[in-house]
Amino acid sequence: MTGGNEGEPTEENDGSRFDRLPATASDRTVEGRPTRNAVIEWWVDRFGLDGNAFEPYTFWEKGAGKIWAFAADLESPAAVEGLGMTFLRARQEHWKPTTDAVQRFGRDAERNVVVLDDDEARAFLRGEDTDPNWDGDWGYLIAAHEIAGGIEPIGVGLYLYGELRSQMPKGRQREF
Amino acid sequence: MEPLSRYDSLVDDPAAFHAACDRPLPSVVRVNDIKATPDRVRQAFEEAGVEFEAIGWHDGLFRLGEGESPGNSWPFVHGWVYGQEEVSAVPALALDPRSGERVLDCCAAPGSKTTQVAARMDDRGLLVGNDNDLGRLSALRSNAERCGVTNLVVTRQDARNFSLKPFSGEPFDRALVDAPCSCEGTVRKNPDAVESWSLDHVEGVAGVQKGLLGRSIEVTRPGGTVVYSTCTFAPEENEAVLQHAIETHDCRLVEFDIPLQSSPGVTEWKDETFDSSMQRAKRIYPHHNDTGGFFCAKLEVEG
């Protein structure tokens, strides 16, 4: 406790349950917890997505900085095993989108999408670093490829020093 | 005696039934409408040279060629398809959930039917996927995430005592009870299901099934729908479980249509007789549509 300063966050994150994110900083009761607005803004800023697309969702934290997006609502805190999908890793200098969220929402992204050719896409899916043609921002990008007449996101890549490091989770890596 | 012979008196054509049970089943995938359309999946398979054919009764199901593995393709990586036995697409159709409703799937893992229900809800509303086994729950979560499902709450409860506490005590509009069973109907992909068959197991699992169905009826609102399904032929696990439900709970079996050949549920088995409404349930035998075996009934909660 900080001695009763009104509006100061006084609680700590409890990693065993889901807590709904505060809408704004003034609603915040848990130290360091990102707000709903900041989470949506991050996707809008980074990928040019329409913020309205996230209006129907509630956002939750379980574990430090692990943000989940849920299409309905429950009483907070929620003692359940899963709530919607993992969405974003916050509480660190560079926020990191999840593979699931990039696959679900990334199709409409307007920037920071690197489109890989066939060989690069397969290497990315194997979890390997690639050297795609990219002169845009560094940091977390949506790695995508062309399939069935459209551009489809595969996962998250970290672009640094001229190479794209695949962030495909081990269990999602494939070789074919 | 071969265990499946105990059903010869129920089946319209026992020779065709046994012959079908001995044939292996092809791999089938269901298109996940949350992320793709049948046309896009078809195009992606063609680009990749994957052998497949459409299944006439459902435009979102594709039968794969021999030797094709559904997990090793871009459509799988993107969550566009889910490997699912053809006949197991039936209960979600019978449940007929709507966008925005509250739906329970009490034995959800590993998630083929749960993700199908989510897609039929347009990923809107509240879907609860429950299971009591942590390992199976982790499979459910990863399958739902790959399919891009965002309206799913995953819970770990004994569904025979399912608690509405995390859901503000509010009942569900619909519940799916795809019960654990003796799996006789999966003999075409898993011959062990019949080799390890015993009447003791059938009777034991029937007790669990009664508990699962009873509790699911209790947590569904009056006027709501409960679908009960198994992948087994034993009347002990099917009609007898439903008979127990209608005797102990305020509910009734209702008619439903599926675009597959089936036989009505039975009203007599061994020394037991069941209510005539059991004929509204559907028994799908492997020789009917060249699929696995299945049982499905639809109930309306009354009172």
- B52-61, Cβ contacts within 8 angstroms, sequence gap of 24 or more: B55/B28, B55/B86, B57/B259, B57/B260, B57/B289, B58/B86, B58/B89, B58/B259, B60/B30, B60/B31, B60/B33, B60/B89, B61/B28, B61/B29, B61/B30, B61/B31, B61/B86, B61/B89
Helix axes B199-218, B239-248, angle to 10 degrees: 40
* Encoded amino acid at B265, one letter: G
CATH 3.30.230.80, applies to A112-172: no
Note the Cα B228 to chain centre separation in Å: 8
Q: Distance, in angstroms, between B126 CA and closest chain A CA?
A: 6
Which ranges in chain A are annotated with CATH 2.30.130.60?
112-172
Phi and psi at residue A55, in whole multiples of 5°? Answer: -55, -40
Q: Distance, in angstroms, between B113 CA and closest chain A CA?
A: 17
CA atoms within 13 A on the CB side of B296: 22
Give which of B125, B241, B106, B252 is closest to B175, Cα–Cα. B106
Position A31 scores a pLDDT of: 87
Q: Return the active site residues of B.
A: 231
Listed in sequence order, the residues at least 6 apart from B30 whose beta carbon sits closer than 8 Å to its beta carbon are: B60, B61, B81, B82, B84, B89, B112, B116
Residues of A in contact with B145 (CB under 8 A): 85-86, 100
Q: Which of A74, A125, A174 sits opposite B153 (nearest CB)?
A: A74
Best residue in A17, A81, A151 to probe B by mutation, most B CBs within 10 Å?
A81
Provide the residue count of chain B: 303
Q: What percent of chain B clears pLDDT 70, i.e. is strictly above it?
A: 100
Q: Is B161 on the interface with A (CB under 8 A)?
A: no
Position B196 scores a pLDDT of: 86
- Segments making up each domain of chain B, as ranges: 3-25+86-301, 26-84
List C-alpha distances in Å: B252 to A99, B161, B179, B246, B248: 44, 22, 19, 6, 11
Beta bridge partners of B269: B272
Record the tokens describing residue B137, joined without a space: 């729950």
Position A15 scores a pLDDT of: 77
Q: Which runs of E-coded beta strand occur in B56-105?
A: 58-64, 81-83, 102-105
Rounded to whole angstroms, the Cα distance separating A21 from A58 reads 8
Beta bridge partners of A143: A114, A155
Query: Tens digit of pLDDT for each residue in B198-245?
Result: 999 999 999 999 999 999 999 999 999 999 999 999 999 999 999 999
A72 with B151: Cβ contact below 8 A: yes
Residues B241, B206: contact at Cβ < 8 Å?
yes
Q: Tens-digit pLDDT profile for chain B (303 aa)?
A: 588 999 999 999 999 999 999 999 999 999 999 999 999 999 999 999 999 999 999 999 999 999 888 888 999 999 999 999 999 999 999 999 999 999 999 999 999 999 999 999 999 999 999 999 999 999 999 999 999 999 999 999 999 999 999 999 999 999 999 999 999 999 998 888 888 899 999 999 999 999 999 999 999 999 999 999 999 999 999 999 999 999 999 999 999 999 999 999 999 999 999 999 999 999 999 999 999 999 999 999 997
Rounded to whole angstroms, the Cα distance separating A128 from A147 reads 20
Query: Tens digit of pLDDT for each residue in B249-262?
Result: 999 999 999 999 99
Position B1 scores a pLDDT of: 52
Position B299 scores a pLDDT of: 98
Give which of A160, A143, A165 is closest to A152, Cα–Cα. A143
Rounded to whole angstroms, the Cα distance separating B126 from B151 reads 6
Position B16 scores a pLDDT of: 97
Average pLDDT, chain B: 96
Q: Distance, in angstroms, between B263 CA and closest chain A CA?
A: 38
Q: Is B15 on the interface with A (CB under 8 A)?
A: no
A70 with B146: Cβ contact below 8 A: no
Record the tokens describing residue A130, joined without a space: 């690639």
Query: Tens digit of pLDDT for each residue in B263-288?
Result: 999 999 999 999 999 999 999 999 99
ipTM of the complex: 0.94
Give which of B139, B299, B111 is closest to B216, Cα–Cα. B299
Q: Tens-digit pLDDT profile for chain A (176 aa)?
A: 333 444 556 677 787 899 999 999 999 989 889 999 999 999 999 999 999 999 999 999 998 899 999 999 999 999 999 999 999 999 899 999 999 999 999 999 999 999 999 999 999 999 999 999 999 999 999 999 999 999 999 999 999 999 999 999 999 999 98
Position B192 scores a pLDDT of: 83
Q: Is B170 on the interface with A (CB under 8 A)?
A: no
pTM value is 0.96
Q: Which of B44, B156, B167 sits opposite A81 (nearest CB)?
A: B156
CATH of domain B3-25+86-301: 3.40.50.150
B26-84 to CATH, choices 3.40.50.2000, 1.10.760.10, 3.30.70.1170, 1.20.1080.10: 3.30.70.1170
